[in-house]
Amino acid sequence: MQITLENIGRRFNRDWIFRGIDYTFKFGETYAILGSNGSGKSTLLAVLNGSLSSSSGTLTYSIDDKPVHVEQVFQYLSLAAPYLEVIEDFTLSEMIDFHFKFKTYKPGIDKAALIELLNLPGNQNKLIRYFSSGMKQRLKLALAFCADTPILMLDEPTSNLDSQGVDWYLSLVEQFAKDRLTIICSNQEHEYSFSQHRLSIADYKS
């Protein structure tokens, strides 16, 4: 899948967050969207995943040179971000089942394998409301990485993770980020050091 931006901009009220972005995100490549806190990284990611419209320019999606309508893009992507909510009244097991009503597992992965991957023994039937922020972030990442989608979007992926959690995240990248279009919003190099391409929001400020 490919995402093409032509003169893309987004503003709030009269202030431009970014403008004039001409860029192509290609399948099989890894991209880092870089910028300081509040610079507009998450806003650009929201434009890219179709949850926020641009204020200017044209954004197109395609698979094998065939166009994909923006309203269908959600079927092709997985997203993990600190601001995404998980359903607090579900157990871990129920949350996994619910998520994979809408997505399919990557080959070789099933519910048992995902629970083992999370490395949260004894928590299968625990309500998510009782999970720590780090446990919730692990769950969000595992659900995104293990879904069989051509696009993987990650916003500040190691938020709330300790050093062991960071190593765990990097192991997920090695296992599950290949043969996808992967986009990471970050201002911490350990989250994106492996990326092949870098896009700096600062280059598109008016």
- pLDDT tens-digit map of 74-105: 899 999 999 999 999 999 999 999 999 999 99
**In Å, how far are 126, 146, 158 from 110, measured between CA atoms?**
19, 9, 24
Nearest to 204 by CA among 43, 46, 49, 26: 43
The mean pLDDT of 154-170, rounded to a whole number, is 95
What are the structural domain ranges in the chain? 2-204
CA distance 49 to 63: 15
User: What mean pLDDT, rounded, does the chain reach?
Assistant: 94
Beta bridge partners of 33: 185, 199
CA distance 172 to 145: 7
The mean pLDDT of 22-45, rounded to a whole number, is 94
Quick one: DSSP state of residue 55? Answer: S
Read off the pLDDT band of 29 (50, 70, 90): very high
Q: Which fold has domain 2-204?
A: Rossmann fold (3.40.50)
| pTM greater than 0.85 | yes
With 0-12 CB in 10 A as exposed, 13-18 as middle and 19+ as buried, what is 172? Answer: buried
State both tokens at 127.
């309500």
